[in-house]
């Protein structure tokens, strides 16, 4: 994905939800996208799937899947890409499932719609295998959503996302509203499934602990931009961007010495009227006049980079945005 932009038309004016977002995704890789609510994470997921509301319009950039541009595909061809090549685990499992149909039938419909299996019997057998894969008894296929716990419903949604053997799964807050024990189980199962099937996963979350546990690389988003990207271990060990540091300081750690958590002051910017220069400067302890006046350059070390005038590592050097 290169230079992706997205705008929403609202009564308050035009909102720039995504601005020049670029990253790549290797086969079998787990990439985390993290940031506060409203930073553009879910808009990015919907842009990749082309599941945008009527008031949204692309604002430049391209999305390539094995060299094929997805943004220019006719809708009929894009329907064949969804679920067969890229699938999505939605935030709220209960809202993703139709309450009047059995959960097995809902997964079966996705398989039949894309012609993955030749017969109904083989399609039902595939659903049963998927349920076992995500830790559900195949007998759950005959139940309705309201008969399942939150964790079971989330597993059904994951099974649906895997139903057509996609290359990429986008997991948008896959453990929201679940207790920590169930969260851990589902994340472990997703990681095991990824290794077993060799798929790529994009985790979208506000939870730094999730990112630390299951991803190979992490991208930090703020005000519709990707402001830092690097290997997960490197970013957690030594972040470059002050916003990344602030996010990490607001979450507790189960290892190391006890420390007081630090809240991030201020509010996320109004994307209908974003700040000049670096969008993070009104909340940044390191901001200078340069930050307020000019957009920051991209600087980095190794494979890690950030968009910042004053990176936390003074040894970071300018890198080519391309």
Rounded distance between C-alpha atoms, residue 154 and residue 206, angstroms: 18
pLDDT per residue as tens digits for the range 186-206: 899 999 999 999 999 999 998
Q: Which two tokens stand for residue 132?
A: 């076992």
Whether 31 and 22 have beta carbons less than 8 Å apart is answered as no
Mean pLDDT of 216-239: 97
pLDDT per residue as tens digits for the range 53-73: 999 999 999 999 999 999 999
pLDDT given at position 322: 65
Q: Is the pLDDT of residue 254 over 70?
A: no
Q: Which two tokens stand for residue 313?
A: 């590592």
Q: What is the mean pLDDT of the chain?
A: 92
pLDDT per residue as tens digits for the range 78-134: 999 999 999 999 877 777 899 999 999 999 998 998 888 989 999 999 999 999 999
CATH match of 4-235 with 3.40.50.300:
yes
pTM: 0.94
Please, which pLDDT band fits residue 209 given cuts at 50, 70 and 90? Answer: confident
Strands 64-65 and 68-69: antiparallel
Q: Is the pLDDT of residue 31 over 90?
A: yes
pLDDT given at position 90: 82
Unique residue bearing structure tokens 């985390």: 32
Please, which pLDDT band fits residue 182 given cuts at 50, 70 and 90? Answer: confident
Rounded distance between C-alpha atoms, residue 136 and residue 126, angstroms: 13
pLDDT per residue as tens digits for the range 257-315: 777 777 888 999 999 999 999 999 999 999 999 999 999 999 999 999 999 999 999 99
Strands 168-172 and 86-89: parallel
Residues of the chain with pLDDT > 70, as a percent, come to: 98
Mean pLDDT of 22-46: 94
Task: State residue 264 phi and psi, 5-degree precision.
Answer: -90, 115
């Amino acid at each position: 994905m290169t230079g992706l932009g997205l705008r929403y038309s609202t009564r308050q004016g035009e909102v720039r939800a995504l601005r020049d977002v670029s990253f790549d995704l290797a086969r079998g890789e787990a990439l985390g996208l993290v940031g506060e609510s409203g930073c553009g994470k879910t808009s990015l997921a919907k842009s990749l799937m082309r599941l945008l509301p009527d008031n949204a319009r692309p604002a430049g950039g391209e999305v390539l899947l094995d060299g094929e541009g997805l943004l220019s595909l006719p809708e009929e061809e894009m329907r064949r890409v969804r679920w067969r090549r890229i699938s999505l685990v939605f935030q709220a499992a209960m809202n993703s499932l139709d309450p009047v149909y059995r959960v097995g039938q809902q997964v079966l419909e996705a398989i039949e719609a894309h012609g993955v299996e030749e017969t109904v019997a083989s399609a039902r057998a595939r659903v049963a295998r998927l349920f076992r894969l995500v830790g559900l008894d195949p007998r759950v296929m005959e139940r309705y959503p309201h008969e399942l716990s939150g964790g079971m419903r989330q597993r059904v949604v994951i099974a649906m996302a895997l139903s057509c053997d996609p290359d990429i799964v986008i997991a948008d807050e896959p453990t929201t509203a679940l207790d920590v024990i169930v969260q851990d189980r589902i994340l472990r199962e997703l990681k095991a499934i990824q290794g077993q099937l060799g798929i790529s996963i994009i985790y979208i979350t506000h939870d730094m602990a999730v990112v630390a546990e299951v991803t190979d690389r992490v991208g930090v988003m703020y005000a519709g931009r990707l402001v830092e990207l690097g290997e997960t271990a490197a970013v957690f060990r030594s972040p470059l961007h002050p916003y990344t540091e602030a996010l990490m300081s607001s979450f507790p750690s189960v290892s190391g010495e006890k420390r007081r958590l630090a809240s991030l002051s201020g509010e996320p910017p109004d994307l209908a009227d974003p700040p000049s220069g670096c969008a993070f400067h009104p909340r940044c302890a390191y901001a200078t006049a340069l930050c307020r006046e000019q957009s920051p350059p991209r600087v980095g070390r190794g494979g890690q980079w950030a968009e910042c005038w004053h990176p936390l590592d003074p040894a970071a050097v300018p890198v080519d945005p391309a």
